[in-house]
Amino acid sequence: MAVELLKGNVAFAEAAVRAGCEAYFGYPITPQTEALEHMAKRMPELGRVFVQAESEVAAINMVYGAAAAGARVMTSSSSPGVSLMMEGISYIAGSEVPAVVVDVMRGGPGLGNIAPAQCDYLQMVKGGGHGDYRSIVLAPSTVQELIDHTVLAFDLAEAWRTIVVVLADGSLGQMMEGAELPPMRPPRPPSERAAWALTGAIGRPTNLVSSIHLEPSEEEAFNQRLQAKYAAIEAAEVRVEEHLTGDARIAVVAFGTAARLAKTAIAAARDDGLAVGVLRPITLDPFPTAALRALAERVDGLLVVEMNAGQMLQDVQRVVAERVPVRFFGRTGGVMPMPEEIGAAIRELAHEVGAADDAAPWQEVPA
Amino acid sequence: MTHAERPIADVVIAGFGGQGVLFAGQLLAHAALDAGLHTTWFPSYGPEMRGGTANCTVVVADGPIGSPVVGRPQAAIVLNLPSLDRYEPLVAPGGLLVVNTSLVDRAVARDDLDVVAIPADDVAAELGHPKLTNVVLLGALLARHPALRALGRLTPEHLATTLARVLPERHHHLLGANRAALERGAELAGAAPAAVAPTGA
C-alpha cells in the first residue's frame, strides 16, 4: 500500500470495502454522497450488496436486518439523514446487533446547509434515539484517521455487539489528503457468522434477535446487562490524543476537525511564547474522563473549541468540575473557525488566568 | 519537531466554476505528495454550478498538517475579478498574488505583495489550449513562490510526471500541452524577486 491523495468520503467507503463490509444501505445526502457513489460502483463489482434505499428510515432498517443475519454492514449519511435513522438505531441497540454508521455532519438545525459542522455531538453521544442505550463514537480528524476508524468501527461493533458511529464532518468528507488504505480483507464466509446470528436454524436451536421485553423485570435485567457492557467498554476502549500538553499551562479540548484547526492555532501561540497544548478525545463515547481530569489538575485553564454552540463543552465541564476555568470558542451554522480566531481565544484565556506572563504582547489579528 | 503544523506553503486558488480552479489545486496537491510532502486540498463546496464561484485551499508541509483552511493565505491565484476583490485583502503581508489579467481590469491596490500579473487566458490560447489558463497560472505560482521554488521538487518537469500518473489514459494526448503551459507560466513569472516588488496588474 502507498500514500495516495484521497477524498475523505471516498476514503472511508473504500476502507469499509477493504474491511470486509458485505452490505451497504444508504440514501444520498450532501456532504457525504461520494461515499454512496463509491459503494454503488464497488459493492456490485465485488458481488456484495449495495442498496440505495427509498429513505434513510428504510436504509437503517435494512442495516438492522442484515446485521441480524450476521453480515458486516454499514450506512452513512449526514445530519438530517441521521436524524431520520434514530428509531432504527435504537432498535439496533436494543437488539445488540453490530452496525457501523458514519455521520458526515453538516450545519443545522433542520435542513440547515451542507457546510462542515459538529452540531450532532449531543445527538450521537447522548443518544438521539429512545431508551438507555449508548454507542461507541469515534471522532476522526484526518482522512487517514477516517480510514482507520472505519476499519476499527467494524471490529469494535462485532466485539461488543454495539453500534459504532464514526462522527466526521463535511470538511473531512470533502477534503483530500495523503492517506494509506488498508489491505483488502475478504468478507467473512457465511459459515463463520456469529453464533447468535439468524443464519437459518437447521441442525441447531433457534436464535432470536429482538428488542422487545414485555415483562418489565426482564427489560430491566436486559438494561442492567447493557449498562454492564457499557461500563466494560468504558474501561477498555477510551482513546485520546494529547498534543504538546507536557508543559502546557493552557490546553485546548477539541475533537475532529476543530482539533486540527486548534493544532495550527497553538503552533502560532507557542511561537509567541504561550505554553499551549491540545487534548483531543478520539472516542467521544467512551469519553476520556481520566486523561482530561489529570490534565485539568496541571493546567491553568481549558478552552473548548467546537464547530457548534458548545456541546462537548457540557462533558468537559462535568469532568473538570470547576477545578480550573473552562472557556468556550465555537462557530455555528457551518462556519469553520479560523486558526487565527482560535489563537485570539487562547490568548484571551491565557491573559485571564495569568498564563501569559512570558508571552509576547497580544496583538489583535485583523479579520 | 514541535511545530510540525507550520506549513511550507498555503495557497488559495479562486475563480469561476469551470476554470479548472479545483483541478489546479488537486494537481498541486498530487505533486506535493509525489515530492514526499504532506498536503491537504480543501474545496469550497456548495450548491454551486458552472459560472458560479469556486475556490480551493492547498496546504503543503513537511509534517502533519493541522488546519486545511487559512484566514490569511501566504499565496493566492485569482482567475477573475470577484476573486481578486475577495482575496487581495486577505493575502498575508509579503505574500504572493498571481493574477489572471485576462479577466481582471484593475490594478492590484496593495503594495506589500509580490504580484505576478499574467494574461493567462491569452497565453493559453496562444498555446492552442484555451482551457489551460489554470495550468499557466499554477506554473507561474510554482516558479515565483519562494518556498515552493526552493524545494526544487515541484518544477514543470515534476508536475508533468505527476500528471502522467493521475490523468486518465484518454487525456494523455494533453500531457505535452500541460507541460508547455506550466513552463510558459514559469517563464512569464520569472524568478522570485530579492525583495517585494509590486508590479500592479
pLDDT at A113: 94
Phi-psi sector, A226: left (phi>0), alpha (psi -120 to 50), beta: alpha
Dihedral angle, C-alpha A161, A163, A167, A168, nearest 10 °: 80
B141: cell is: 505560482
Say yes or no to pLDDT of A356 above 90: no
The CATH number for A134's domain is 3.40.50.970
Query: Which residue among B26, B33, B45 sits closest to A31, beta carbon to beta carbon?
Result: B45
Q: Do residue A261 and residue B38 have CB atoms under 8 angstroms apart?
A: no
Three-state DSSP at B122 gives helix
pLDDT above 90 coverage of chain B, percent: 85
The DSSP H or E segment spanning B125 is helix B120-126
Query: Which residue among B2, B3, B42 sits closest to A171, beta carbon to beta carbon?
Result: B42
Say yes or no to pLDDT of A117 above 80: yes
Residue of B nearest to A5 (CA): B30
Is there a single domain that holds both residue A10 and residue A50?
A: yes
Q: What is the pLDDT of residues B56-73, one digit of tens each?
A: 999 999 999 999 999 999
Give the pLDDT mean for B26-36: 98
Is there a single domain that holds both residue A171 and residue A262?
A: no
Is there a single domain that holds both residue A157 and residue A255?
A: no
pLDDT at B201: 36
Give the pLDDT mean for A28-38: 97
pLDDT at A360: 58
Give the pLDDT mean for A315-337: 96
The CATH superfamily label for domain B9-188 reads Pyruvate-ferredoxin oxidoreductase, PFOR, domain III (3.40.920.10)
In Å, how far are A265, B60, B69 from B57, measured between CA atoms? 17, 10, 6
The region of weakest confidence among A60-69, A153-162, A252-261, B185-194 is B185-194
Is there a single domain that holds both residue A232 and residue A276?
A: no
pLDDT at B199: 42
Q: Do residue A4 and residue B68 have CB atoms under 8 angstroms apart?
A: no
Q: What is the pLDDT of residues B117-173, one digit of tens each?
A: 999 999 999 999 999 999 999 999 999 999 999 999 999 999 999 999 999 999 999
Give the pLDDT mean for B5-32: 94
Average pLDDT, chain B: 91
Query: Is the torsion defined by CA of B4, B5, B6, B8 positive or negative?
Result: positive
pLDDT above 90 coverage of chain A, percent: 94
Q: Do residues A210 and A95 make contact, with C-beta atoms less than 8 angstroms apart?
A: yes
Q: Most B CBs within 10 Å: which of A264, A272, A365, as the mutation test of the B interface? A: A264
- Residue A190: pLDDT band (50, 70, 90) is confident
Give the pLDDT mean for A237-256: 98
Average pLDDT, chain A: 96
Range of the domain at A162: 3-186+212-236
Say yes or no to pLDDT of B193 above 90: no
Three-state DSSP at B101 gives helix
**Residue A352 contacts B where some CB pair is shorter than 8 Å:** no
Please, where are the H alpha helices in chain A? 8-18, 33-45, 56-68, 79-84, 86-95, 121-125, 143-160, 170-174, 216-236, 256-271, 289-298, 312-320, 339-352
pLDDT at A364: 53
How many angstroms separate the CA atoms of A120 and A135, rounded? Answer: 14
- Residue B6: pLDDT band (50, 70, 90) is confident
A83: cell is: 436524524
Exposed (0-12), middle (13-18) or buried (19+): which is A202, by Cβ within 10 Å?
A: exposed
Q: Name the domain count of chain A.
A: 2
Is there a single domain that holds both residue A117 and residue A25?
A: yes
Q: Most A CBs within 10 Å: which of B67, B74, B110, as the mutation test of the A interface? A: B67
User: Is residue A361 assigned to a domain?
Assistant: no
Give the pLDDT mean for A282-300: 98
